[in-house]
Amino acid sequence: MTKRPTLLVITSGGAYAWVIVNALASRFGTVEVALEQPEPKSLFLRRRARKVGWFQTGGQFVTMTVSRFGKRLAGARTDEIIATHGLQTEPLPSLTITPVSSANGADCLDLIAARKPDLIFLAGCRMLSKATLSAIPCRVINYHSGINPKYRGLAGGWWARATRDVENYGATVHLVDAGVDTGATLRQAFLTPHPRETLMTDSLAMAAGSREMVTQAVEDVLNGTIEPQSSDLPSVQRFHPPIWTYLSTGLAKGIW
């Protein structure tokens, strides 16, 4: 019989997500992972276009493509982050990993029903639908690479650096509701970005610097001692910068 996990983490994987998952596994032990499959790009693009239009979506998609291939160029900084913080960017061998079609898939809900976790933790997965949230019997919290509410959504670290708002560079753990990173903030880690940070390394640097904050937030929830935080910051949903904004910011300010 599979041991009932204290935590069920839903993630699509990736270096920064595994850093967070491994930190949770090292602290709490009874952690299981639901590993969702990649979302079809066509579905992602159509959903984004409904929000910002096809022109902006096209520009953002080019930046995402450049960022994906640019990770090779950022390899030296990535290696430095890993070495400095002693990170493991692949799942620990001790982790139980169950593939699921999607965080909103019936197979994921079946896994939740079977495991009956005390808490569900999201790290780099699709946004949960209202129907999925209503079907989950326990609390759901999310790790976000950005300081909420000012840097909700995507590329929060880049936007903080690009707007010279480095005092709000960091990561957030928050309760999950039906909005985009709009749930009540539980804890935050405010970090100092390295001068060599880029769009390709922000999330890994944030994960490295926020692991203790993450485990503390989970302990708060499990112990029933959560204290949602208020903020005077404006609430803004961010997206990847379109390629013209990314290039102009890099050339004018040296912020990539």
Is residue 59 in some structural domain? Answer: yes
Residue 247: domain span: 7-253
User: What's the pLDDT at 4?
Assistant: 65
Q: Residue 218 belongs to a domain with what CATH number?
A: 3.40.50.170
Query: Looking at the 3D structure of the chain, how many domains does it have?
Result: 1
pLDDT in tens, 66-89: 888 888 789 999 999 999 999 999
Is the overall model pTM greater than 0.85, yes or no? yes
Please, what sign has the CA dihedral across residues 37, 40, 41, 44? negative
Res. 1: pLDDT tops 50: no
Residue 10 bridge partners (DSSP): 34, 122
Res. 124: pLDDT tops 90: yes
Phi, psi of 241 (to 5 degrees): -65, 140
pLDDT in tens, 207-256: 999 999 999 999 999 999 999 999 999 999 999 999 999 999 999 999 99
Is residue 71 in some structural domain? Answer: yes
**Residues with Cβ < 8 Å from 33, sequence gap 6 or more?**
8, 9, 10, 11, 21, 91, 95, 96, 97, 98
Is residue 1 in some structural domain? Answer: no
Res. 204: pLDDT tops 80: yes
